[in-house]
Structure 1
Amino acid sequence: MELNEQQLRCKQEAASYTNQYVIPYAAFHDREERLHPEVIESLKSSGYLGSMIPKEYGGLGLDPISVGVLNEEIGRGCSSVRSLLTVHGMVAIAILKFGSEQMRSHWLPRLASGEVLGAFGLSEPGIGSDAKSIETQAEPEEDNYRLNGRKKWITMGLIADVFLIFAQVNDKPTAFLIERKSPGFGVQPIQGMLGVKGSMLAELHLEDCRVAKDSMLGRPGMGVSMVALHCLDYGRYTVAWGCVGLGQACLEASLSHAGSRQQFGVLLQDNQLIQKMLTEMIVEVKAARLLCYQAGYLKEVMDPDSIMETWTAKYHAADMVNKAAHRAVQILGAKGRSTESPVERFYRDARVNEIIEGTTQMHEMVIASYAASTHQSVQEEAVHS
C-alpha cells in the first residue's frame, strides 16, 4: 500500500520531529519515570496533541492513516510519549462522539492546543479486562453525581487535567468527564514499572467527588458498551502503530550493530543465523505495518470491519514487537542488556503491548470467536441459497 501525498508528508514530518524532540529525551523518560517538560511543550506547539481532533475545533483533523503513521514515528522514538498521544486522544474522541456541543466547544480546542491534557480512567485495582464489572459508584443527587471508588494504572494520571472516568449509576456503567481540581478527587503516583516508565501512571481516588450532571457523556448504561469500546478501538489502533514503530527501532538498532560488529573475522551481518533473525524482523515489521494500513483504510471509509481488523493488527503487532525486541537483545549480546544501548529499554517497553488495550488472550478469544461466527453464517447462507 502506498501513502498519498498528505500522509507521506505527515510521516516525514513526524519522523523529523521524533528525531529532534523525542529520541534525545527517551532515556531521560525511562530513567526519571516522567516526561521531560520540553517534550510536552513541543507536542503542544507541533499540534500533535490535536491530531485526532477536527479542524473546526482547533485540531489537525488527520485521517486515520495519518494518525497511524504519526503514532508509528513517535513510537519509534519513545513509547512513553506515544502513550500520551493515545490516552489524550481517547478522551478527545469520546467528547467528540458522545459529548454535548457545549462540551465539545469547551474542551476540544483546549485539548487540541494542549492547554489541558486528558487521561482515560477505566481500570481499577480489581478490574481490568472485565470492564462491565467496574466497582466505582456514581450516586445521583439533586444537581450532580457523587462518585466513590478507585482507578488504577491510569496512564498520564500524574499530569492530566481532565479524566474520562467510568462508574456505575444504578448498576449501569456510565462515563463522566471529571476535572482534576474537582473536590474529592485525588492522585497517587505509581512507580517502579517494568517498561514505558515515563507514562506517569497514577491511582485515582474518588471520595465523595461531586460532578455536575452535564459532565456525563451519553446516557447511563452507555459507558462500556459504547463510550469505552469506541475509545479502546482508537487506543488499540494507535498502540498497534506504536508497536510497528518500536519494532522498526529494534530492527534499525540490530542492523546498525550487525553491520559494525565483527566476530571471528567477519561482520555479524554475514553470519547466516544473524541473517535469519534480521530477516524475520524485517518481514514481521512489514506485515504488522500492512495490517495497520488495512485497519486505517477501513476506518477511513467507515467500514464496520475496521473494528475487527484493528483487533487483528494490534494482536499481531504486539506479538511482533516482543519477538523483535528479543532478537535485538540477542544480536547485541551483553550490550543489548545494558543502558549503553536503547535496545534494553525497547525490550522492557515492548512487553506492555501484550497487556494494554486488551490482553493478548482477550484478542485471541475475540478474533477466534468472530471468525467462528462468521464461518457459521457463511455456511448457513450456503445451505439456504
Structure 2
Amino acid sequence: MDLRLTDEQHARREAARRFAADVIEPWAERIDREDTTPPSLQAALRASGYLGAALPTEWGGGGIDPVSHGLMTEEIGRVSSSVRSLLTVHDMGAQAITRFGTAEQKARWLPPLCAGEKIIAFALSEPDVGSAAQTIQTRAVERGNTLLLTGVKRWITYGLVADLFLVFAQCDGMPVALVVERETAGLHIKPVTNVFGMRGAMLAELRFDGVAVSRDCQIGPTGAGITFVASAALDHGRFSVAWGSTGIIQACLHACLGYVQQRRQGASRLKDYQLIRRQLADMLVAHTAARALCYRSACLRAQGDPRAVMETSLAKYHASAAAMRVATDAVHMHGANGCSEDYPVSRYLRDATVMGIVEGTHEMHQLALASYAFQRPYLLD
C-alpha cells in the first residue's frame, strides 16, 4: 500500500483544508453554542460541491477516490464534527440510492443530491431501537401500490433541514427502505435538543402518521432493507466517522501544542514537563495510527477488495476510541480551562464521545472484529 498522495489527492486535501479554515471554522464555536448550523453555512456547503464529491460523475457528482474523500472528511471534521456529520448522512442516503436504486430512482433523485440542491437524511434509529436495527418498530402497511408508514424515528442527523429521508420500516415482518419527501402529508418533524455532542447537527424526531409512500419510492426489494440497503449505507457512514475521528485527534493535538507552549506553571512552560511531553507523544502516535488505518480502508475500498468492509469497521473502532482518549487527555492538559467553552477541547471531548456511538457502538464493533480476528487478517497480501 503506497501512502504517498498523488498530486491530485494533495490538491484536494489542501482545498478542503482552506475551505474548512475559511468557511467553517469561523462558525464552529457558534454552531456548538447555538445548537444549529447557520443557513448561510448550509448554503456554502450546498454550493461547495462537497455534498456530492464522492457520488458518481454520471449524475453530477465529483467521483473522487476514497482517499481524497477521506482526507476531505478529516479536514472538515477537524474544525466541526457537526458539519462533517452533514456530509456523512447525506452521503449515506445518496450512496444507498446509487447502489440499490432503479434507473428511474437514480434519475429522479441523484442529480439534485449530487448538486447539493437537496439533502437526504438517514432515518433508522428509533426512541427504543438503536444499534439493534433488525428490531425497528416503524410499520409499512400495503395498500395496493402504496405503503402506509406509521412510527417514530429519532436522532435523525440534519433531519430539521433535510429534503428527503431514507426511512426503514417493517412490512409484513420484512424490512423495507423508503425515500420519503419532507412535504409528504402525515410526516411531522420536531427538533431534538439539549444533546451532549455534535450539537449543531440539527437532530430531529420524525413521526409518521399513516404517511402514504408510493411503491416507486422503495429502494431495493422487500426484505433487503436492513441486510443490504442499511448495511451498505452504514459502511459509508463508518468510513466517514473514522476519518472524522482522525480529524478530532488532529484538532486536539494542535490545540494542546499551542496551549503548552504559552501556558506556565511557575517559571516553566507546560511543554517542558516530561508528563506533558509523554501525552503529546501519545497523541501524535494516536493520530498517525488512526490515519494509517483510514488510509488502508480507503485503498481497499478503491480496489473493491472484499476486506474493505471489516477494515473500515476496524478503522472506525480504533479512530473513535482513540479520539475519546486523546480528547480526554487534552481536557486534562488544559486543566480548569479545559472545562470551559472558551477553549475548543471541551467540544472535542463531547464530539468524540458521540463518535463512539454513531454508526455502531464500540461494543458492536468489538464483537464483529473479534469474529474477523479468527479469519487471521494479519496474513495480508
TM-score by length of 2: 0.97
Partner of 1:383: none
Partner of 2:253: 251
Residue-by-residue CA offset, 1:314-344 (whole Å, 9 max, x unaligned): 0100111011111111111121111111111
Residue-by-residue CA offset, 1:108-158 (whole Å, 9 max, x unaligned): 110122211110000111111111111111111112111111111111111
> Percent identity between the aligned chains?
44
AA paired with 1:48? Y
- Residue from 220, 223, 244 that aligns with 1:221: 223
Query: 1:345-360 residue pairs with structure 2 within 5 A?
Result: 345-360=347-362
Query: 1:1-385 residue pairs with structure 2 within 5 A?
Result: 1-372=3-374, 374-375=375-376
Secondary structure, counterpart of 2:309 in structure 1: helix
AA paired with 1:105? A
Shift of 1:266: 1.8
C-alpha distance in 2 between matches for 1:266 and 1:108? 58
246-255 vs 344-353, greater mean Cα deviation:
344-353
AA paired with 1:168? Q
- Say how many residue pairs are matched: 376
C-alpha distance in 1 between matches for 2:183 and 2:273? 59
97-106 vs 214-223, greater mean Cα deviation:
97-106
C-alpha distance in 2 between matches for 1:87 and 1:316? 21
AA paired with 1:88? H
Shift of 1:212: 0.7
Secondary structure, counterpart of 1:50 in structure 2: coil
Residue-by-residue CA offset, 1:179-217 (whole Å, 9 max, x unaligned): 011111111110000110000111110111001110000
C-alpha distance in 1 between matches for 2:46 and 2:126? 30
C-alpha distance in 2 between matches for 1:195 and 1:72? 18
Shift of 1:370: 2.1
Shift of 1:369: 1.6
C-alpha distance in 1 between matches for 2:289 and 2:266? 34
Secondary structure, counterpart of 2:129 in structure 1: coil
Shift of 1:82: 0.3
Secondary structure, counterpart of 1:53 in structure 2: coil
Shift of 1:55: 1.4
Secondary structure, counterpart of 2:262 in structure 1: coil
Structure 2 portions without partners, runs of 5+: none
Q: Could you list the structure 1 runs, at least 4 aligned residues long, displaced by more than 4 angstroms after superposition.
A: none
C-alpha distance in 1 between matches for 2:376 and 2:198? 39
Shift of 1:375: 4.7
248-257 vs 111-120, greater mean Cα deviation:
111-120
Secondary structure, counterpart of 1:49 in structure 2: coil
C-alpha distance in 2 between matches for 1:360 and 1:22? 29
Please give the root-mean-square deviation of Cα atoms over the aligned residues, in Å: 1.2
C-alpha distance in 2 between matches for 1:218 and 1:112? 20
